[in-house]
């Protein structure tokens, strides 16, 4: 598991100081990108090689609302990792109380940015990520 910590910004909320539902997908993305970075996968490096990292599927289950100024922990689990696909799960937790506010899942792949075809990364390039995520599966 990888934990990404962030504070809710005012502009992410509605008139009632509640986080707008679409922002949870952004939180998932921020956590996912930092997880990959910790696992030795830098999206800037991939893009220089003509590889992008699109989402194939994403979902969220809203349990409770986060509010302005809450400190959130986005717990991220890499449930499946192979040369062409990554499956993540997320829990958004209010740090102060430990309450799970939102859960989610996403599936990503690697594709050639010019052709849109799936690209398989070399297994050795995924070694650090596989090691980091070992307890997630």
Residues with active-site annotation: 14
Q: Token pair for residue 135?
A: 């307890």
Q: What residues form DSSP beta bridges with 40?
A: none
Question: How many Å apart are CA 128 and CA 96, to the nearest integer?
Answer: 32
Torsion of CA 25, 123, 131, 40, to 10 degrees: -60
Question: How many Å apart are CA 6 and CA 71, to the nearest integer?
Answer: 6
> Which regions of 39-137 does DSSP assign to beta strands (E)?
51-52, 55-62, 71-81, 85-94, 100-109, 111-112
Cβ distance 38 to 11 under 8 Å? no
């Amino acid at each position: 598991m990888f934990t990404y910590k962030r504070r809710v910004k005012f502009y992410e909320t509605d008139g009632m100081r509640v986080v707008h539902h679409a922002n949870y997908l952004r939180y998932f993305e921020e956590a996912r990108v930092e997880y990959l970075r910790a696992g030795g996968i830098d999206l800037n490096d991939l893009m220089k090689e003509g590889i992008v990292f699109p989402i194939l599927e994403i979902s969220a289950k809203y349990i409770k609302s986060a509010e302005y100024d809450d400190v959130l922990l986005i717990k991220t689990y890499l449930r499946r990792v192979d040369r062409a696909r990554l499956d993540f799960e997320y829990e958004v937790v209010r740090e102060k109380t430990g309450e799970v506010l939102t859960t989610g899942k996403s599936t990503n792949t690697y594709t050639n940015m010019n052709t849109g075809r799936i690209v398989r990364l070399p297994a050795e390039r995924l070694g650090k990520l596989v090691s980091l995520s070992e307890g997630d599966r």
